[in-house]
Amino acid sequence: MSIGPHTLAQSGVVIPPLGVGTWAWGDERTWGMGGYDADLSRDTIREAWRASIDAGATFFDTAEVYGGGESERIIGGLLAEDPDRASKAIIATKFMPSPWKLQVTSALLSALRASLDRLGVPAVALYQIHGPISLRGLGALAEALAAAHQEGLVQEVGVSNYSAKETRTIHGELAKRGVKLATNQIEFSLLRQVPETGGLLATCAELGVVPLAYSPLGQGRLTGKYSASNPPPGKRGFSAHPMETVDQVVAELRRIGEAHGRTPGQVALNWTMAKGAVPIPGAKNEAQALENAGAMGWELGADDVAALDRVALPGIRSFANRFWQHG
Ligand SMILES: NC(=O)c1ccc[n+]([C@@H]2O[C@H](COP(=O)([O-])OP(=O)(O)OC[C@H]3O[C@@H](n4cnc5c(N)ncnc54)[C@H](OP(=O)(O)O)[C@@H]3O)[C@@H](O)[C@H]2O)c1
Check 36, 66, 127, 162 and give the catalytic one. Answer: 66
Using alpha carbons only, what angle is made at residue 184 by residues 222 and 163, rounded to the nearest 5 degrees? 90
pLDDT digit string (tens) for 112-133? 999 999 999 999 999 999 999 9
- pLDDT at site 32: 74
Total-model pTM = 0.97
- The mean pLDDT value of the chain amounts to 95
First and final C-alpha spacing in the chain: 23
Q: Which of 308, 188, 187, 295 is nearest to 251 (CA)?
A: 308
pLDDT tops 60 at residue 326: no
Q: What is the pLDDT of residue 84?
A: 98
Q: Considering only CA atoms, which residue is closest to atom 11 of ligand 1? A: 21
Pairing of strands 6-7, 20-21: unpaired
Chain segment 36-80, per-residue pLDDT in tens: 788 899 999 999 999 999 999 999 999 999 999 999 999 999 999
For the chain, domains (ranges, CATH) are 13-323 (3.20.20.100)
Distance 219 CA to ligand 1 centre (A): 5
Query: Phi and psi at residue 20, in whole multiples of 5°?
Result: -135, 130
Distance 236 CA to ligand 1 centre (A): 9
**22, 217, 246, best to mutate for ligand 1 pocket (most atoms within 8 Å of CB):** 217
Percent of the chain with pLDDT over 70: 95
Nearest-CA residue for atom 47 of ligand 1 = 21
245-257 per-residue burial string, b: 16 or more CB within 10 A, e: under 16: ebbebbebbeebb
Atom in ligand 1 nearest the alpha carbon of residue 226? 41
Q: Is the pLDDT at 172 greater than 50, yes or no?
A: yes
Mean pLDDT of 99-111: 97
pLDDT higher than threshold 50 for residue 327: no
- DSSP alpha helix (H) spans, the chain: 42-54, 70-81, 83-86, 104-119, 138-150, 164-176, 194-197, 200-207, 243-260, 264-274, 286-293, 302-311, 319-323
Lowest mean pLDDT segment, chosen from 21-35, 66-80, 145-159, 219-233: 21-35
Mean pLDDT to the nearest integer, 254-260: 97
Q: Is 66 among the residues known to form the active site?
A: yes
